[in-house]
Amino acid sequence: MNKNHKKIETKGIVVGAGLGGLMLALLGWQKHIPLTVLERSRYDENSGGRTLWLYPNALRILDQAGLLSDVIRHGFPVREIRYYDIDLKRSFTVRLSDFPEHSTYPVTGILRSDLHRILRQACPEDSIICDWQLRRVSARKGKVLAESADGRIREGAWLIGADGIHSAVRQSLDPNWNACFVGQICWQGTTQIELDPSWHGVTSEIMGRGRRFVFTEIRPGTVTWLALIRQETPAQGQGKWPLERLQHIYRLSGGPVQDILEHASEDSLHLISLRELSEARPWYHQNIALMGDAAHALTPETGQGAAQAFQDAWLLSELLSQSDSPPEELFRQYYTLRAPQIRFLQRQSRFIRGVSGAENRLLTKLRDTLLPLLPEHLMLRKMKQVYGSEQNITGGHHV
């Protein structure tokens, strides 16, 4: 410990002011749980242009936090999802207006930076400390110490790591506990382009051999998109990628894909190697727990990263506000209640990734033949199981 820095005590510590950490801070404040959030970056640096799709299970928690109207006002409605083969022959369409909870919780797209800003503005100003680069955490005598790279110390009765897929809290618990590459890389981009009105309010996914392209016009003249490619090894680094290479990969794609890529800006392009965490390991140790991507990073097939972080935050805030049990016991309950849903979503992600990203020519043809025959009511039933606001956060147990 750096003796030039005073140790500051607090009830609870949350590391990371991303979407999950801010939701936990907000719910904790509303339930009178004293906690402090430690964030490594400045807020003007913690932004991102990626689009999130918020389904009823996420919107319900935003509603409970009092933010639903703000989110809907700053977001955009998604009325249907269309799936196509590489030749742009429509495979099938899911009309989200048929979703049972559409009138209460309409599926909404929103820029991650806008959602982050809404959450940040709802949190008490003095509950978040920026420029805190975590060096290590340690548990001793019923307390947790969080030490920054410059020697500052925070002490609490418990600590929750909400610091993302490359979590420093998780690394403090076990340096070998890392997310594994899933054999897919993903470009994220934003293009300023006017699409035909038939694409408005629609999320479209085009599936080829070993590649997928997903795009949505989030407002007139602005399209956000993902381009996913099967690859045996991770991309080198997580930076930019020559746009010409991406245009070449999708040169035979139909519809607006080529136009979207031709008008894309190199500055808007971001490349990541998709990773997930093993579902077998508990997300807590003594009075330290993990949540969101730090605990159970999901790949984007189900669009559930933010929603599951919100559900983690809701359950943790409920347990911490309603019980005087030791933190380790509360964190054990949290893991026991949440793990089954996460395992289900990880299995769903792997299945979708295998089907939509199939490389074998025969399997691809079989997929493109069978998908148009899929009854829409079966897809809506599966979507309700994954996305419904009554999705079982607690495995049927009372909290």
For the segment 384-394, what is each residue's pLDDT rounded down to a tens digit? 778 876 655 65
Q: Are strands 35-38 and 12-15 parallel, antiparallel or unpaired?
A: parallel
What's the rounded mean pLDDT across residues 63-77? 95
Gap between the Cα atoms of 380 and 214, Å rounded:
20
* Cβ neighbour number for residue 240 with a 10 Å cutoff: 13
Whether the per-residue pLDDT at 98 is higher than 60: the answer is: yes
Identify the residue with better confidence: 376 or 342: 342
- Find the DSSP H helices in 163-263: 168-173, 243-249, 257-262
Which of the residue ranges 150-154, 291-295, 310-314, 362-366 would you say has the lowest mean pLDDT? 362-366
Q: Give me the pLDDT at residue 340, please.
A: 92
Q: Check residue 88 and give left, alpha or beta (phi > 0: left; psi -120 to 50: alpha).
A: left
Six-digit token pair at 362?
């025969």
Name the residue ranges covered by the structural domains of the chain.
Answer: 7-78+108-179+277-355, 190-273
Read off the pLDDT band of 118 (50, 70, 90). very high
The backbone torsions φ and ψ at residue 165, rounded to the nearest 5 degrees and listed phi first, read -65, -30
Q: Give me the pLDDT at residue 241, please.
A: 65
Tens of pLDDT, residue by residue over 253-273, are 767 888 999 898 888 788 889
What's the rounded mean pLDDT across residues 362-371? 84
- Cα of 165 vs its chain's centroid, Å: 10
Q: Give me the pLDDT at residue 6, please.
A: 54
Share of the chain above pLDDT 70, in %: 90
Read off the pLDDT band of 169 (50, 70, 90). very high
Tens of pLDDT, residue by residue over 220-246, are 889 999 999 888 888 875 455 678 888
Q: Name residues whose C-beta falls within 8 Å of residue 231's C-beta, 6 or more positions apart in sequence.
A: 183, 184, 185
Q: Give me the pLDDT at residue 2, please.
A: 45
Q: Give me the pLDDT at residue 28, please.
A: 95
**Mean residue pLDDT across the chain:** 86
Read off the pLDDT band of 146 (50, 70, 90). very high
What's the rounded mean pLDDT across residues 74-93? 84
Gap between the Cα atoms of 181 and 188, Å rounded:
17
Gap between the Cα atoms of 290 and 103, Å rounded:
34
Which of the residue ranges 96-100, 273-277, 324-328 would you say has the lowest mean pLDDT? 96-100
The backbone torsions φ and ψ at residue 50, rounded to the nearest 5 degrees and listed phi first, read -70, 145
Is 71:127 a contact under the CB 8 Å cutoff? no
Structure pTM? 0.90
Superfamily of domain 7-78+108-179+277-355: FAD/NAD(P)-binding domain (3.50.50.60)
Read off the pLDDT band of 65 (50, 70, 90). very high
Gap between the Cα atoms of 87 and 242, Å rounded:
25
Read off the pLDDT band of 8 (50, 70, 90). low
- Cα of 84 vs its chain's centroid, Å: 24
Six-digit token pair at 23?
């939701």
Identify the residue with better confidence: 118 or 278: 118
Whether the per-residue pLDDT at 398 is higher than 70: the answer is: no
Is 224:49 a contact under the CB 8 Å cutoff? yes
- Cα of 382 vs its chain's centroid, Å: 20
Q: Give me the pLDDT at residue 123, please.
A: 93
